[in-house]
């Protein structure tokens, strides 16, 4: 019955199928008239949001070290927590367009150096205060502060001035920046009272839900904010987010009805889970990628030949087949794929070449000691298995790769960005400027590969202000090739976001910007 529903629901919701046509269509699938009539009634009612109830989410990617400060979001759970209680100026839709949120509208000067954002009026914070343009200004200024350690610091560095003019926020940039509205949609930039300067961890925002309880690494609970400004969102009375980092336990919780949504479904079990009663597995392609990151300034990865030896020593096709099980595609050691505008598909695809890897390894002069790769399952679904495949393919090239498994709890605070070689993931960003500025610009706080390249930085700066799209595409292509050949990123695969949802959950949308509808499932969905 679950498969029938998945096949038939689009026809009702999108084409206005009549009851008679629906029953005729289901009879061809062997569904009786009584059952079909009941299905039609339930699905037809599901077109209109139902208010009330509790959404229960089982989430991987949480830790006891997780903070409520939006600046410090570094994994899935804090992202979803902030999505529930906070909002940004703008939001990226599934088709890549921008959706105004706390900014009602925006416009740029002819040279794209001065941007004006009209700030929405009458919006309330959870503490009862009314949001002002000054709150927005202070939020952006806080994330521009080097001491904030914000994940958005890299994209804020090009801003020279932020000021308030009545209901408007004026943003000046050092160089023309065609993608500034996309940059300001960054999920770290949730608007807080006073910019969050007094207490960035207070968990107070303008979102559909306010935090009731926060136990990092355990659970978060929320209730509908009575004064929320957007009536089209926030249909549940309450939301419960339970941290379940173990994938088997997470899926079992969904199958037993303890939770309604889970993230990070491992591709190896996705098909089996999709056949379970009253569960739908959703998968959507996007910009996410699973990676192994080497810090270019730390031995032995400060050796270019060794870095490239490891890049040729990974069997990408095997990894996509065995780890992603078809839910993704091969990567090419830079973080951009065909989901991005201005992607250059003519760049030669790097393939597994153990002979070339062995030659580069010999040239590197490495002493033969074990090369330690740190990994935990929380890095990405199948990360441990992927690391073992990497170890085997590297062994064929004579490269002594050693796997060191780390605890899931604390991985994002203790291992990622703190050790020279580890597994990780990136969800990508809406535009190339944002992806490169966040993670590969020399001055970026989240430059987790410690990639410092003047030519790359100069090209990125030029591309920011280039309004001719063909020229800009060529600049991005050059940057991709520099990063591919000089950087510390091993990107074997681009993943689809694979998640599972109870069939009671309605209003689901395909959105590949990030998992669980770009984090908007709790605020857009409802229960039948």
Which residues contact residue 458 at a Cβ distance below 8 angstroms, ignoring those fewer than 6 apart? none
Q: By the 8 A CB rule, do 264 and 250 touch?
A: yes
In angstroms, rounded to a whole number, what is the distance separating the alpha carbons of residues 238 and 215?
Answer: 16
Q: Would you state the pLDDT for residue 242? A: 98
Check: pTM over 0.95? Answer yes or no.
no
Q: By the 8 A CB rule, do 469 and 342 touch?
A: yes
End-to-end CA distance of the chain: 16
Return the bridge partners of 401, or none: 371
Closest by CA to 262, choosing from 514, 498, 18, 9, is 498
pLDDT digits over 441-466, tens only?
998 889 999 999 999 999 999 998 88
Residue with tokens 């939020």: 139
Q: Would you state the pLDDT for residue 11? A: 38
Run of H or E including 93: none
In angstroms, rounded to a whole number, what is the distance separating the alpha carbons of residues 470 and 326?
Answer: 32
Tally of CB atoms within 10 A around 122: 8
Q: Per the structure block, which two tokens stand in for 358?
A: 């062995």
Q: Would you state the pLDDT for residue 212? A: 98
Residues of the chain below pLDDT 70: 1-46
């Amino acid at each position: 019955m679950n498969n029938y529903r998945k096949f038939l629901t689009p026809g009702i919701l999108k084409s206005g199928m009549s009851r008679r046509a629906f029953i005729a269509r289901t009879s061809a699938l062997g569904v009786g008239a009584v059952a079909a009539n009941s299905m039609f009634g339930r699905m037809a009612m599901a077109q209109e949001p139902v208010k009330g109830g509790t959404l229960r989410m089982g989430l991987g990617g949480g830790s006891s070290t997780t903070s409520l400060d939006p600046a410090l979001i570094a994994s899935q759970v804090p992202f979803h927590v902030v999505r529930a209680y906070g909002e940004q100026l703008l939001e990226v839709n599934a088709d890549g367009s921008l959706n105004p949120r706390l900014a009602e509208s925006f416009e740029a000067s002819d040279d794209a150096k001065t941007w004006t954002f009209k700030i929405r009026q009458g919006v309330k914070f959870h503490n009862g205060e009314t949001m002002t343009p000054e709150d927005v200004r202070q939020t952006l200024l806080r994330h521009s502060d080097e001491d904030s350690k914000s994940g958005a610091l890299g994209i804020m560095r090009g801003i020279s001035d932020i000021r308030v003019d009545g209901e408007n926020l004026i943003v000046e940039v050092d160089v023309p920046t065609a993608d500034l509205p996309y940059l300001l949609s960054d999920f770290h930039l949730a608007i807080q009272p006073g910019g969050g300067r007094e207490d960035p961890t207070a968990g107070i925002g303008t979102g559909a839900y306010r935090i009731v309880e926060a136990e990092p690494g355990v659970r978060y609970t929320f209730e509908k904010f009575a004064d929320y400004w957007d009536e089209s969102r926030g249909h549940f009375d309450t939301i419960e987010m339970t941290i379940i980092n173990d994938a088997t336990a997470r899926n079992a919780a969904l199958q037993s009805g303890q939770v309604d949504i889970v993230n990070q479904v491992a591709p190896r079990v996705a098909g089996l889970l999709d056949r379970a009663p009253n569960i739908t597995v959703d998968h959507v392609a996007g910009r996410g990628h699973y990676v192994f990151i080497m810090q270019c300034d730390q031995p032995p990865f400060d050796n270019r030949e060794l870095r490239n030896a490891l890049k040729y020593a990974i069997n990408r096709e095997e990894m996509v087949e065995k780890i992603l099980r078809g839910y993704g595609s091969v990567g090419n050691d830079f973080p951009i794929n065909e989901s991005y505008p201005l992607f250059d598909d003519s760049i030669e695809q790097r393939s597994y070449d153990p002979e070339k890897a062995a030659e580069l390894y010999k040239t590197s002069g490495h002493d033969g000691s074990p090369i330690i790769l740190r990994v935990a399952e929380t890095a990405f679904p199948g990360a441990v298995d992927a690391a073992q495949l990497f170890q085997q393919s590297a062994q064929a090239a004579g490269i002594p790769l050693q796997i060191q498994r780390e605890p899931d709890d604390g991985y994002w605070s203790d291992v990622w960005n703190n050790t020279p070689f580890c597994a990780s993931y990136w969800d990508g960003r809406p535009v190339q400027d944002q992806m490169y500025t966040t993670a590969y610009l020399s001055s970026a706080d989240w430059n987790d590969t410690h990639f410092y390249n003047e030519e790359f930085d100069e090209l990125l700066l030029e591309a920011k202000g280039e309004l001719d799209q063909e020229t800009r595409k060529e600049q991005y292509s050059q940057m991709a090739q520099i990063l591919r050949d000089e950087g510390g990123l091993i990107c074997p695969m681009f993943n689809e976001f694979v998640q599972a949802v109870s069939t009671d959950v309605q209003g689901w949308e395909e959105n590949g910007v990030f998992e669980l509808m770009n984090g908007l499932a709790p605020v857009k969905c409802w229960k039948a």
